Amino acid sequence: MTLPTSIDRRSRRWHRLVGAALGVGLLGVTACGAAPTGSRVTLDYWLWESLQLPGYEKCADAFEAQHPDIEVRITQYGWGDYWKKLTAALVAGAGPDVFADHLTKYPGFVTRGVLLPLDELQATSDFDPSQFQEGLADLWVGPDGKQYGMPKDFDTIALFYDAKMLEEAGMTPADLDGLTWNPEDGGTFEDVIAHLSVDANGVRGDEPGFDPDNVVTYGLASSGSGGDGHGQTQWSWLAGAMGWTYTDTLVWAEEYNYDDPRVQAALGWLFGLVEKGFLASYEEIGEDPDPVKQLGSGTAAISPNGSWTISNYARLDGIELGVAGVPSGPVGHPVSMYNGLGDSISAQTEHPEEAAQFVAYLGSDECQVTVGREGVIFPARPAGTAAATEAFRAKGVDVSPFIELVENRHTVLFPVTDHPADVLSILEPALDSIYIGSSDASSLTQVNQEINALFDRPE
């Protein structure tokens, strides 16, 4: 395939996307501070979510109209390829000027000096955290007190379901309102997922004769053990509802709390559902479980997931999609992990002030409302959140269960610490072992000691 050698702005973006899809090695072409076109400065911006690309294309167009001396080239890779290519590009000194950043990655970038503080660049020096949903900006403050990410969006967890499956079970969406949960008997939440579980003979999980070894529909969808992301979608909302928090301080902690009996009780209950036949086994879901497909195929009735997946569920054929809030726990109300992405500036950029101008625009009401109107994610600014809520409503999806958690401050923060990759490399096999059933949840006490020892080692 021959790609054009002389291309306009939109064609250049298409060229980058096609190159990514074909595995073409473009890193040398798209190095930070690529040669300006004429008198224009060219900035490279990378992100990983294809569904968000159209919104950010519109933002780039609007930004360029306001800054005719700056061109923005956008590259989008899938999640896995994104981090591999970004890491390789940064090591080679050929990374993007600006990129979408994640809290599991950003601490490592900060400690390695990969990011520029927004505070030290003119266009972002007046950054005001109060302009964003409460707490999001704090997640991007480094141990030196400087701001390393412009809040981009936020996410919380809720329960997706098919109203037609509820009807077949003699239930209505109202039966999912106000559910309660505890790790002893599962509360009304376990009652619901038991009733929605169905074996091959059509017997439900709360009826005599239910066969937990021959289930065709599980009450609860599975997305794995959660070891690759601190159980964000899998169990953070259960452990959080016990009053548990991940670390000893809100951000840049040096002590994890996986030895706490509350998180261990929550995990014991969740993975204990396998034996009851209400949750698929580790072996059955495989290495890449997809809770969206489980709901769409009817192999699961309730699918806990993050707000960033709303569009994926909304595209499912043959279901009547509904969204319910996660159940209230022993703390007396529902709790969700509160996570947020950010846009960061590479320390390798040859155009830091122009990059800061673009990042400032990405964090503006104008851009975030544009992105919100796409109905894909919840932008970090309230105006953007409101635009997204309206866009989802127009698609027939009530997203209030996600928003109410933030409005009521019923959230627990994603853990932001040093050694993020090392922490997850210890945690993932431990949680897999608990899910498989070869280890008890109490084994996390020893695991927690191993994790916390990371913070005692010399750099």
70, 40 in Cβ contact below 8 A? yes
Please state, in angstroms and rounded to a whole number, the distance separating the CA atoms of residues 116 and 396.
Answer: 41
Q: Is the dihedral of CA 302, 308, 313, 314 positive or negative?
A: positive
pLDDT digits (tens, 9 = 90+) for 212-226: 999 999 999 999 999
Q: How far is CA 4 from CA 12, 122, 173, 202, in A?
A: 9, 37, 53, 59
**Per-residue model confidence (pLDDT) at position 17:** 38
pLDDT score for 251: 78
Burial of 223 (0-12, 13-18, 19+ CB in 10 A): buried
Please state, in angstroms and as integers, the Cα–Cα distance from residue 177 to each residue in 296, 361, 405, 431, following that order: 22, 39, 14, 30
Quick one: CA dihedral 101, 308, 327, 222, positive or negative?
negative
Looking at residue 457, what is its pLDDT? 62
Distance CA 372, CA 376 (A): 7
Cα angle for residues 341, 244, 377 (degrees, 5° grid): 25
Q: Which domains does the chain have, with CATH numbers?
A: 9-154+340-403 (3.40.190.10), 157-338+413-453 (3.40.190.10)
284-301 pLDDT per residue, tens = 998 778 999 999 999 999
H-only helix segments in 279-364: 282-285, 291-297, 310-314, 352-362
The Cα diameter of the chain in Å comes to 77
| Full-model pTM | 0.87
Identify the band that residue 26 occupies on the pLDDT scale cut at 50, 70 and 90.
Answer: very low
Residue 250 has pLDDT above 90, yes or no: no
Copy the structure tokens of residue 244.
């548990």
- State the Cα angle at 294 between 288 and 297, rounded to 5°: 130
Which of 113-122, 123-132, 243-252, 382-391 shows the lowest mean pLDDT across its residues?
243-252
The pLDDT score that the predictor gives to residue 458 is: 56
CA torsion sign for 424, 425, 431, 432 is positive
Q: What is the mean pLDDT of residues 245-256?
A: 89
Give the CA radius of gyration of the chain. Answer: 23
Contacts 24+ apart (CB under 8 A), 76-80: 76/17, 76/20, 76/46, 76/47, 76/48, 76/49, 76/50, 77/20, 77/46, 77/48, 78/48, 78/50, 79/48
Q: What is residue 292's three-state secondary structure?
A: helix
pLDDT band, residue 32 (cuts 50/70/90): low
Bridge-partner residues for 42, per DSSP? 71
pLDDT band per the 50, 70, 90 thresholds, residue 30: very low
Burial grade of 180 (CB within 10 A; 0-12, 13-18, 19 or more): middle
